[in-house]
Amino acid sequence: MRFLELCETFERISKNRSRIYITNELAALYTRLNPEEARALSYLLIGEISPPFRAIELGVSSNLILQALSTVLARSKDSLEQSLKRWGDIGDFIHVHMRERKINPLMNNSELSILDVYNYLHKIARENTQRGKVDIIINLLLRMNELEGKYLGRMIVNKTRISVGVATVLDSIAQARGVDREIVRTIYYLVSDIGLTAERVFLGDLSYKIQIFNPISPALAERVGNSEQIIEKIGKGFAEYKYDGFRAQVHKRGREIRIFSRRLEDITGFLPEIVEDFQRISNDVIVEGEIVSIVDGKPVPFQELIKRKRKYDVLKYSNMIPVRMYAFDILYLDGVELYSEPFQNRREVLSEFLREKDLERIYLSEGMVVENKSQLDIFFNKALDAGMEGVIVKRLDSPYTPGQRNHNWIKLKRISDTIDGLVVGYFYGQGRLRDYPGSLLVCVYDEELDEYQTVAKVSSGLSEEEFMKLKDRFVEISSPYINLNTRIQPDVWIEPNTVVELNYDNITLSPTHTCASSEFGGRGLALRFPRIVQIREDKSMREVTTVSEMISLYRSQGENQSTGTEGME
């Protein structure tokens, strides 16, 4: 299939962002593809060329694109640079300049296929020199029309603008092949690789199997209001400390060890001590746990710990902040897939497995069976005394459900819950903030509709200086290009890549917000008196709080609290 057809589809779906429309359009593309093409298309649709844990970087800045364009258009790089500043988005910029191009040397009717472009992108990534990368881009642009140039530019330097959600891509694959969408989703969550999922489905392989060294998408915890509600939902369950660190999934086969983050990135290089410990083991295994650091008997706050993740500082920080892992699940052991076993069995296997080993830094997570509210309350207080952020209670008979947030795991935290939302735009402030962001428009994510819905307009929690700094961080765009359901029009739309953690007094119904509005007769859920706690640098737009979580938070606070007016400040 020609790359141009993909670009035309992108154009159409950027104008009609309904989930059904997008799924139909993409399914129509998929029906014409073979497994290899389906694999390539799946990566391209989400703006990638590989799964996140392979992290194949193109290594191309907008500067290199400008160099390439300067050759293709025979214009000085300086003048192009000025023009790019005006356009903002690299795609629109390339589009307009290529359209104006007088000479059109090699193409009239582009013949590049999706696979050609995908292979060229890999070639760019493999090329070591900047000059070499520029030459490949020149070669590509000379064979493209302006529309293809627009999307090539976005794929290379601004992939957040290729904004089809993973869920929509999976549904399109299911629709094109006439397969139940839950089957396709399960296959995906087990291997966390959209290209591999597409290829398997297109080859007719619908079996559920994990692939060692492909992270299994992490199971997530639901929340309810209090310990009583947990017992109501779960009955007899297993309560564990909720450690405040970062999640890691360790895969080991033979001598090879890889460690993956919650965001499915390969973080092996950041955790040399953990690798060393696993090297003492002869088994093949997938173990999951929380990485924490205890210095002078106290847990090191998450924000400090995360500094280790900066590549070049690992050695420095591994001395200053030594880490350990509290293992809480085992998903595979010596050829046996354990993720579908009941939790209770997995816990037994895990504790047996760790007991036999002479490991220095891998501990079993602290936990106990609880049958009623008072047992859970006692354990919860013990967790808080030990400096934990709360507990997670797990259903004894539940399988590990990759990528799902459900009531198999329920968390209960010390401080009132916060939510993580995506900033999509801002309003100018007052006084010193007249030309700066003064309040931010924040959204949560509806998994069913694959769209973002507004939940707060927040203007407190940061100092004036911090608000001012946001201006440099935010990149202005002319209109939102994600699937966004909003009744509010901010002064400035921004690229959707900043996630903020918000706390709030309570959740209320509001006519201005759209979160879950179809559930509540047109009024949406909104945060009353929202405050910014921090910017969640470790989270991407795909990991914000979901609409279904908002609904359960709202319901758990009790109907009597929820009738106030919205606190927009």
Query: Exactly one of 97, 150, 262, 513 binds ligand ATP (CB under 6 A); which one?
Result: 262
> What binding mask, one character per residue, do residues 340-379 give for ligand ATP by CB under 6 A, x or -?
-------------------------x--------------
CB of 367 to ligand ATP, least distance (A): 7
CB of 471 to ligand ATP, least distance (A): 27
CB of 299 to ligand ATP, least distance (A): 11
Of 77 and 236, nearer to ligand ATP (C-beta) is 236
Using the structure block, give the residue that is written with the tokens 């590989």: 50
CB of 533 to ligand ATP, least distance (A): 10
Query: Exactly one of 392, 499, 516, 541 binds ligand ATP (CB under 6 A); which one?
Result: 392
Query: Exactly one of 171, 193, 290, 450 binds ligand ATP (CB under 6 A); which one?
Result: 290
Query: Exactly one of 173, 196, 221, 333 binds ligand ATP (CB under 6 A); which one?
Result: 221
β-pairing verdict for 451-458 and 484-485: parallel
**147 contacts 99 by C-beta, under 8 angstroms:** no
Residue 33, classed as helix, strand or coil, is: coil
Cα separation, 543 vs 376, whole angstroms = 29
β-pairing verdict for 492-503 and 484-485: unpaired
Of 290 and 451, nearer to ligand ATP (C-beta) is 290
CB of 313 to ligand ATP, least distance (A): 22
Of 171 and 222, nearer to ligand ATP (C-beta) is 222
328 interacts with ligand ATP by CB under 6 A = yes
Binding residues for ligand ATP restricted to 99-128, rule: CB under 6 A: none
Please state at what angle helix 77-87 crosses helix 90-100, rounded to 10 degrees.
Answer: 130
Cα separation, 568 vs 354, whole angstroms = 51
**Strands (DSSP E) along 5-85, which ranges?**
none
**Catalytic-residue membership of 242:** yes
Of 379 and 493, nearer to ligand ATP (C-beta) is 379
- Tell me which stretch binds ligand ATP (CB under 6 A): 154-162, 215-223, 518-526, 550-558: 215-223
Element (H, E) at 66: helix 62-73
Measured from the Cβ of residue 61, the count of other Cβ atoms closer than 10 Å reads 13
- HEC-encoded secondary structure of 487-535: CCCCCEEEEEEEEEEEECCEEEEECCCCECCCCCCCCEEEEECCEEEEE
The DSSP letter of residue 153 is H
- Tell me which stretch binds ligand ATP (CB under 6 A): 235-243, 343-351, 463-471, 521-529: 235-243
Using the structure block, give the residue that is written with the tokens 């699940």: 329
CB of 413 to ligand ATP, least distance (A): 6
Q: Out of 102, 123, 159, 242, pick the active-site residue.
A: 242
- Tell me which stretch binds ligand ATP (CB under 6 A): 26-34, 213-221, 227-235, 502-510: 213-221
395 interacts with ligand ATP by CB under 6 A = no
CB-nearest residue to ligand ATP: 247
Terminal-to-terminal C-alpha distance of the chain: 52
Would you report the helix, strand and coil content of the chain in percent, each value rounded to 5? 40, 25, 35
Binding residues for ligand ATP restricted to 236-255, rule: CB under 6 A: 240-243, 247
495 interacts with ligand ATP by CB under 6 A = no
Name which of 157, 198, 267 is nearest 43 in CA terms: 198
- Tell me which stretch binds ligand ATP (CB under 6 A): 40-48, 111-119, 216-224, 455-463: 216-224
Name which of 41, 65, 180 is nearest 114 in CA terms: 41
Of 227 and 365, nearer to ligand ATP (C-beta) is 365
CB of 418 to ligand ATP, least distance (A): 7
Query: Exactly one of 411, 457, 523, 528 binds ligand ATP (CB under 6 A); which one?
Result: 411
CB of 415 to ligand ATP, least distance (A): 10
Look up residue 5 and give its two tokens: 């057809």
Site size toward ligand ATP, by CB under 6 A: 14
**121 contacts 51 by C-beta, under 8 angstroms:** no
The radius of gyration computed from the CA coordinates of the chain, to the nearest angstrom, equals 25
β-pairing verdict for 476-477 and 492-503: antiparallel
Buried (b) or exposed (e) across 157-183, using 16+ Cβ within 10 A? bbebbbbbbbbbbbbbbbbbbebeeeb
Of 161 and 405, nearer to ligand ATP (C-beta) is 405
CB of 355 to ligand ATP, least distance (A): 18
β-pairing verdict for 237-242 and 285-292: unpaired
**206 contacts 351 by C-beta, under 8 angstroms:** no
Of 236 and 542, nearer to ligand ATP (C-beta) is 542
Q: Which residue(s) pair with 113 in the sheet?
A: 2
Q: Which residues bind ligand ATP (CB under 6 A)?
A: 218, 220-221, 240-243, 247, 262, 290, 328, 365, 392, 411
Q: Which residues are catalytically annotated?
A: 242
